[in-house]
Amino acid sequence: MDQTPKANRIYIGFFGRCNAGKSTLINMLTGQSVALVSAVAGTTTDPVSKAMEILPLGPVVITDTAGVDDTSELGALRIAKTRELLPKMNMAVYVVRTDTPIDDTDREWLALLKEQKIATLLVVNEIRGFGADAYIGASRLEAAEVPYIGADLSTKEQRRDILDMLGKMKPTDEETRTLLEGLIEPKDVIVLVCPIDSAAPKGRLILPQVQMIREILDYRGMSFVVQTEELAALLDTLKEPPKMVITDSQAFEAVAEIVPDSIPMTSFSILMARFKGKLKELVQGANAIKNLHPGSRVLISEGCTHHRQCDDIGTVKIPRWLKTAGYEGLELEWTSGGGFPADVSPYDVVIHCGACMLPRREVLRRIDVAVQDGVPIVNYGVLIASLHGILDRALSPFKDELV
């Protein structure tokens, strides 16, 4: 579980006013000194995240945040940073203390977490023996609004109770979805085409390729991993055609010329779009590319912050493929990592990477932002297949899902 990619973990944010006990609670639940604890209010400034395993939750990313009532000189910026985290969070723990009444700030943040559809547990830090039930009653907070539990954070006695409550609240969607769901059965042969070029990380494979190999093994299937140049030789040696060929999107054109039409073919990026996003919306985005004209504004968004190579896919190859396809004079802009605009309405189309480094909740949010702003969005794999004239073929494994 320590090796689980961050994108596949459950993200849990700890929120509350300054000195409510957030950091103390994190250290109690994790059994580690993850967060800095001090009696001085405002000790936690910027959000601090750490990947770890906590049972019964499993692999998680824990985030300690600044107080939501920070009135220091940089308080407004810190609170804004905390708000920016919400789209990534699967769960939230909101901490209050019984010697401080619940106020409008608390209610505002609890409402915000509810609005963002984040499963939230209210932890009542019981100070000087004032119990949680009496505190909630005095605060006129309906139990139905948010589940709560009282805890004396000066001890670790309620640790197991809090973890059990969080375990019952954890989202299961991230665990039940798989990249090859409905596409593979035991003993199926899947061929993975993984080009090793200037963009490939030295000494290792990229995350989607590694995940695919592991998933094939989990399904009791059989995988063959080759580069584009060895693909034809591999297919000639197989007694029976493979169930499917999955390629790096950048090799789509070459692979399509080698693989017979009778063998289903798609890409890692398209499978990632199906796994994490809304494939139907992304396909519609590819169709919208046809409407681009000189002066159209295009946002190309990377979910990670990798070091760009000389032939980088987002900044070099995709612009080149667009130009080759006849789309000249486009106004291209780029974002990376967490830098996705809250408003994409100024753009004519958004082109997004496969998002292997982003949690599914964040990918869905980005798609929803584009859809709500009426801006078509497409991912790298879908776009590249479209530009090379093989989109229908690349989507053939999912034709029933796209109706």
Return the percentage of the chain with pLDDT > 90, whole number.
Answer: 40
Q: How far apart are CA 281 and CA 273, in angstroms?
A: 10
Nearest to 146 by CA among 109, 114, 171: 114
DSSP symbols for 12-41 = EEEEESTTSSHHHHHHHHHTS--S---SST
Domain 189-271: assigned CATH number: 3.40.50.11420
Phi, psi at residue 260, to the nearest 5°? -60, 150
pLDDT 10s digits, 83-99? 888 888 889 999 999 88
- Give me 322's structure tokens: 């667009």
Residue 346's CB: how many other CB atoms inside 10 A?
11
With a CB cutoff of 8 Å and minimum separation 6, the contacts of 114 are 120, 145, 146
Q: How far apart are CA 48 and CA 169, in angstroms?
A: 23
Inform me whether the pLDDT recorded for 4 exceeds 80: no
pLDDT of 40 reads 46
> Taking the CA of residue 47 as centre, how many other CA atoms within 13 Å lie in the half-sphere pointing to its CB?
25
pLDDT 10s digits, 280-321? 889 999 989 999 999 999 999 988 765 556 678 888 999 999
pLDDT of 198 reads 59
Inform me whether the pLDDT recorded for 173 exceeds 60: no
Q: How far apart are CA 15 and CA 44, in angstroms?
A: 11
Contacts made by residues 316-323, CB under 8 angstroms, sequence distance 24+: 317/250, 318/351, 318/380, 318/383, 318/384, 321/384, 321/387, 321/388, 322/289, 322/292, 322/298, 322/387
Inform me whether the pLDDT recorded for 242 exceeds 80: yes
- The three-state secondary structure class of 226 is strand
> CA-based diameter of the chain, in Å?
76
Under CATH, to which class is 278-391 assigned?
alpha beta
Inform me whether the pLDDT recorded for 217 exceeds 90: yes
Which DSSP letter does residue 317 get?
Answer: I
Q: Where are the domains of the chain?
A: 6-175, 189-271, 278-391
Phi, psi at residue 218, to the nearest 5°? -60, -35
Instruction: Give the pLDDT mean for 128-136.
Output: 79
Residue with tokens 């010329």: 257
Q: How far apart are CA 104 and CA 110, in angstroms?
A: 10
pLDDT of 374 reads 94
Q: How far is CA 380 from the centre of its chain?
A: 16
| Mean per-residue pLDDT over the chain, rounded | 85
pTM reported for the whole predicted model: 0.71
Phi, psi at residue 204, to the nearest 5°? -155, 170
Is it true that 6-175 and 278-391 share their CATH fold?
yes
Query: What is the third-level CATH fold of 6-175?
Result: Rossmann fold (3.40.50)
